[in-house]
Structure 1
């Protein structure tokens, strides 16, 4: 069961343009949807024999408002995840789960917001509240029964006329889950790190295309003090694009997959959709 811990051991993925703030006074509502399929399971870098399967359909409802505090643009926001996961084949004993995940509060602050030079630098703290559905008897859960705090830094720079590079790094700190598994053990987790890079081409103000690469490492867990040797080393890539289908409505599509996984399930395909409405 230790190999399944990295399912919950994820940092915060960003979309292209996330660290380019909207003008002061803007409010945006976003709906995310991700469908991911996994048919391989790894432990210590080696594939676990068997016919494994885990499918997830997860969404996030997000509301953000851009304002100014002390002369800096700030974007306080709330994120509410929801969805379902279902295991099958040789891993069908894991069962399934559905419902609402842990609510997330965030408030990115932009230290550099220079539209003229196309340079942006932001810092975003995220606080995870243990509000989601959790059952210690279920191997799969959308809630984690613990507090988490993530600190993310994002840098965006315009290069040639239509090219942008976007670099993001973050670190996740985990609280304890004192109701873990059938034995109600105490789960602790080391810091989890992630680095992300986007290269975006802006065809017009309405349309763009991008490629991305992400690397996650760290996050080994301990159950009642016993290390699980389950550090979450994961490399993944995606390609996609965004288009404003209306003056204030954008649709973004990304296709991706895991390139390498050290422990846990490996995604063989992932589809991300995001609908954003600006008010």
Structure 2
């Protein structure tokens, strides 16, 4: 039997299992699947994963290339703050980001494009039979612009404002519940403030608002809607010396409850994530950031039990 035929046969079996389920069972499963997608990084955290120094204003004419690698282990799901099952989901995500800086009306501005890919796997074979054993492919394309109304190098005070659109270009299979691409538009308005407190200590704060379009082909042709979501990310960074910085950070997320065919699932994640890490400045305008993180509290969804993130960055 060819792999293609077997895959098509498995998808048809998934559709039959899905449509044969009672409506209440489907809604419970949808809540679970949405929890899985949150736990693997598509919705639980701020839409833009902010790293230390992201709102430092580079010089017009500079270009930045960044490579991201994430390894996440998730446990749950949680409902109303209580863990209701001991399932695990693993996600491995890679992304590339390109940034170009220029001057706009006398202000520093940057244009950014981000493309990601992922491999997501539920640990349970029974769950995989219904929602899909894995989701592998490209994510949705992100295009954005940031403008710095405050860019004072003398006082080390920076404030940037970002607008971003995320297009539904990622890999999406409508007959499979587990997908990395989201098959919907998203719009993000964010900001970032960075300020030196002392010559060795600085603070960073980044609020974010995300608005979601509808996915009209979700789970056998149903309509998925999502409330706006808010996030706040913060870092404290210590300059050990010019080459090494240590940081601790936190992120809090609010809102983002979903509805399927108009029925409210009442499942906002309402989660808190803590992280710590190291920034290493290398010769030739290169940089490495290593970050460890976990979610310490969550109301609904899969909790990130462990995240290891690595970012390489080069300024040209």
Report the TM-score when normalising by structure 2: 0.85
Corresponding position of 1:14: 50
Cα distance in 2, alignment partners of residues 140 and 111 from structure 1: 41
Corresponding position of 1:3: 32
2:112 paired with 1:83: no
Corresponding position of 2:149: 111
Cα distance in 2, alignment partners of residues 27 and 239 from structure 1: 27
Corresponding position of 1:71: 106
Structure 1 SS opposite 2:241: coil
Q: Structure 1 residue 206: deviation in Å?
A: 2.4
Which digits, 9 at most, give the CA deviation of each residue in 1:182-209, with x for residues without a partner?
2x11111100010111000122332211
Identify, as 1 or 2, the structure richer in strand: 1
Report the TM-score when normalising by structure 1: 0.96
Structure 2 SS opposite 1:3: helix
**Match of residue 45, structure 1, among 40, 56, 81:** 81
2:210 paired with 1:172: yes
Cα distance in 2, alignment partners of residues 155 and 135 from structure 1: 39
Unaligned runs of 5+ residues in structure 1 are none
Do the aligned partners of 2:177 and 2:218 also contact (CA within 8 Å) in 1?
no
Structure 1 SS opposite 2:34: helix
Instruction: Name which one, 1 or 2, has greater alpha-carbon Rg.
Output: 2
RMSD: 1.2
Which digits, 9 at most, give the CA deviation of each residue in 1:135-173, with x for residues without a partner?
122221111000000100111110011110001100100
Cα distance in 2, alignment partners of residues 234 and 138 from structure 1: 26
Unaligned runs of 5+ residues in structure 2 are 1-28
Q: Structure 1 residue 221: deviation in Å?
A: 0.5
Cα distance in 2, alignment partners of residues 21 and 40 from structure 1: 39
2:293 paired with 1:264: no
Show structure 1 runs of 4+ deviating over 4 A. none
Corresponding position of 1:236: 273
Cα distance in 2, alignment partners of residues 80 and 126 from structure 1: 13
